[in-house]
Every structure is written in structure tokens, then in C-alpha cells.
Amino acid sequence: MSAQIQALLNADITAELKNIAHKVLTLQRITQEEGLYLYENAELGFLGTLANFVRENRHGNKVFFNRNFHIEPTNVCIYSCKFCSYVRKINQPGAWEYSLEEILDKVKAYDGQAVTEVHIVGGVHPKRDLHYYGTMLAQIKKLRPDLHIKAFTAVELEFMIKKSKYTLAEGLRKLKEYGLDSIPGGGAEIFHPDIRSNICDEKSSTNMWLEIHETAHNEGIPSNATMLYGHIETYEHRIDHLERLRQLQDRTGGFNTFIPLKYRSANNTMTELGEVSAIEDLRNYAVSRIFLDNFAHLKAYWVGVGKQIAQLSLAYGVDDIDGTIDDSTKIYSMAGAEDTNPHMSTETLVQLIKQVGRVAVERDTVYNTVKIYE
């Protein structure tokens, strides 16, 4: 037993915290009530020690990243979520709608480069259906057969599948035939209806988000999961969200990773809320790692929280910091994130990981090892 764990068990803490620590250290599942108790009562050092135990029990000293880039085909969207700084309407200043040729040019820009993943998300465009985007996937695959395509949030998928008059299973199967390899976790926001109805009442329901991901898993399409935190939700709402994800993962095992996404407050209708502190970011990572015992990976999306907090998070349960990005996403920069031109070279990512005594592991999208940087 490490000195940190021994010190934790000997600390002057409540009986409830000692019981939770015992369960975590003996690899038992904690309850929703215990998860909430951690959020409300545990000190950050306690949470970090437990979360680090969980991540090192799974992954030792490894920290994962990949070589990726993003394509955002359009920011035109039929929805107007309160937290969104990204959305525009057709012909509104700041709107973009890339053609298929322009999208393919973005892929061609990486000819000869060792990228392994393209991440494609955007607005829910009223005129674009499954076959439009399917054609895009097929043409990308023709250019780069080796490139893993992770594309379309559940919100985008619901619209394009419905517009094309498929069932969910049929639509996902068709997209897989076109070239879809996995789907990201966006659009989850907060599942609890009290919050969802307030911040994004127009978009896909909680049940629809969960159904789309479950159907994808059943069709052999893995996915990620997210939670947008740090706005009007409470700890109870966060734990409710995590519990719904944990239950779905119990059924399918299809989630690759969980990604807490920090609410950034610039240029949207919830600006007056401000943003939560870095301490709250770390608390949220730690509780997520402890609670989601059936998720293999926990990711800090460095574009959202910044490089420094992503680095700190590696001591609070996080084992993945996403990828190189290459200044190819505007979603967070338009919301006020510190990296207005998000990019990290492989060398910078590796150095960031090594600076905190971890071992950098380049992975592909589904966590096969590409290279270990000793």
C-alpha cells in the first residue's frame, strides 16, 4: 500500500468517507448517494488520491493521446441552445457551410502526415441529410482508407436519420457502410430534465441520446460520452448524469471514454453565470473517475480547460488528454477558451506528459497502442 493511500486511511475524515475509500480501494462500486457525498464533502486531496488509485490500477503510469484533426462542416443549426457560442442561422454573419470539395481539401491537407483520426461535428443543418454526410464519409475514406472517422453527435444523427426516413438502427448501419467508424459524445449536456429543459429544450431528449448510443453500440459502432458541467446544474444533476451513463455502459460496454466538458461563458446567453474554478474542474474529474468504474478511460479535453489544467488533471484520475487538434476546431475558441488557435505538436504533448512523471502513449481512436514514448 502506497504512503498516500495509508495516509488517506489514517486521516481524520468522516466514517462515510472512510467507507467510500474502502469500497474504492477494494474495487467495489459506489452508489449514487456516495458519489454525491464525495462531491459535497470530500477534500480535493482525498479525491485526487482515490481517483489516482483507480487510474493507476487500470493504466499504471500511462497517459494516452492521438494524432487527430477536426472538421466542422457547418455551424448553421436549427437549434439555439443557451450555452452555445457557435451556432448561426443561414446567411447570418459568421455562418459557414463548407462544400464537399472544401471538406475534402481539408483532408488532403494532411496527405503524408501520420494522423490517425478525423473528428467531424457541426451544427444541425436543416437541408443536409444522411446521404449528404454519408457521401462525405465515403469520399474521405477513398482519400484516406486508414483514417478513423469519428463523426456526428447524437443530436446530428437524430436529425439526419429522421430526415432520411430510416429507423435509428437502419440509419446507423447505413452510415457505417458509408465509412463511419465511431461517434463522439457531444450533445449529452446534462441529462436531468430540470436542466435540459432549461438550457437546450429543443434538441434531442435524454432518452434519445442514450438510445442512439445504445443502438450504435449494438451495431458495432463504439462511442464516447460527455457531460457539460459548470453552469446551472447541481452536484445531484451531475451524479444523475453519470449514473445514466454507467447503466448504459453496463448494458453495452460500448463507450471508449468519458469526457467532462467545461462550460465556457463567452458569447452566449448564459454569460452572466461566469465559469467554475480550476479546483472545481479537478474535483469533477476525480469524482467522475471514481464513480464510472466501468469506463476504461477518462479524458481531459485540453482545448476546453487549457493545457495547464489538463496537465494537472493527470493527478486526478485522467489518463487521456485528447490529441494534436491542429487548430481545426472553433467550438471552444468562440466560447472564450484560452487557446484561440488550438494546436499541440506530438512533441509538445509528449513533453507535457513527461513533465509530470507520466509515460506518453500514442493511441488510435479505440486505444490500440501506436507508440510508447519512454
Per-residue pLDDT of 77-102, as tens digits, reads: 887 777 777 678 888 888 889 999 99
Domain identity same for 99 and 17? no
Q: 98-101 — which CB contacts under 8 Å span 24+ positions?
A: 98/71, 98/73, 98/74, 100/135, 100/136, 100/139
- Helices then strands (H, E): number in the chain? 15, 10
The whole-number pLDDT of residue 155 equals: 95
**How many CB atoms neighbour CB 162 within 10 A?**
14
Q: What is the pLDDT of residues 3-53, one digit of tens each?
A: 777 777 777 889 999 999 999 999 999 999 999 999 999 999 999 999 999
Q: Which residue has the higher pLDDT, 202 or 133?
A: 133
Average pLDDT for 173-185: 98
Domain boundary (39, 57, 75) is at 57
Q: Same domain, yes or no, for 7 and 95?
A: no
Same domain, 42 and 88: no
Coil, strand or helix at 232: coil
Cα–Cα distance measured from residue 99 to residue 313, given in angstroms and rounded to the nearest whole number: 38
Domain boundary among the residues 12, 40, 57 is at 57
Looking at 180-265, list the stretches that DSSP marks H as alpha helix, in order from N- to C-terminal side. 193-199, 206-218, 235-252
Residue 12 shares a structural domain with residue 81: no
C-alpha 86: how far from chain center: 17
Residues 90 and 149 in one domain: yes
Quickly state the pLDDT bin for 336 (edges 50, 70, 90).
very low
Q: Which of 292, 258, 225 is nearest to 54 (CA)?
A: 292
For residues 371 and 66, the answer to whether their CB atoms sit within 8 Å is no
Q: Name the nearest CA neighbour of 48 among 227, 231, 309, 282.
A: 282
Phi, psi angle pair for 361, to nearest 5° = -125, 115
What is the DSSP secondary structure assignment for residue 83, as one 8-state letter?
T
- Bigger pLDDT: 302 vs 26: 26
Assigned C-alpha cell, 36: 454525491
Half-sphere exposure for 287 (CA within 13 Å, toward CB): 32
Distance separating alpha carbons of residues 33 and 12, to the nearest angstrom: 21
R_g of the chain computed on alpha carbons:
20
Q: Which three cell numbers stand for residue 184?
A: 463522439
Residue 152 backbone class (left: φ over 0; alpha: ψ -120 to 50; beta: rest): left
What pLDDT, on a 0 to 100 scale, did the predictor assign at position 374? 81
pLDDT classification of 341: cutoffs 50, 70, 90: low
Least confident of 41-45, 66-70, 179-183, 310-314: 66-70
**Cα-Cα-Cα-Cα dihedral of 266, 270, 273, 276, to 10°?**
-60
The answer, yes or no, to whether residue 315 has pLDDT greater than 80, is: yes
Please indicate, yes or no, whether residues 146 and 11 belong to a single structural domain of this protein: no
For range 171-191, the mean pLDDT: 97
**CATH code assigned at 361:** 3.20.20.70
pLDDT for residue 267? 73
Indicate the average pLDDT of the chain: 91
pLDDT above 90: percentage of residues in the chain = 72
Per the structure, the count of domains in the chain is 2
Phi then psi for 163, rounded to 5 degrees?
-60, -30
Shared domain for 42 and 19, answered yes or no, is yes
**35 plus 126 within the same structural domain:** no
What's the whole-number mean pLDDT along residues 122-145?
95
pLDDT band at 227 (very low <50, low <70, confident <90, very high): very high
Q: What is the pLDDT of residue 117?
A: 95
User: What does pTM read for this prediction?
Assistant: 0.92
Domain that holds residue 241: 61-373
How far apart are the C-alpha atoms of 193 and 190, rounded to whole Å?
8
Residue 326 reports pLDDT greater than 90: no
| Domain co-membership, 8 together with 109 | no
Q: What share of the chain is helix, strand, coil (3-state, %, to 5)?
A: 45, 15, 40
> Which is more confident, 339 or 72?
72
Beta bridge partners of 374: none
Residues 39 and 139 in one domain: no
Same-domain pairing of 17 and 71: no
118-122, 186-190, 304-308, 333-337: lowest mean pLDDT where?
A: 333-337
Q: Residue 332: its pLDDT value, please? A: 43
43 & 77 share domain:
no
CB atoms within 10 A of CB 60: 10
E strands, the chain, are: 62-66, 68-71, 117-120, 148-151, 223-229, 255-262, 297-298, 320-323, 359-363, 369-373
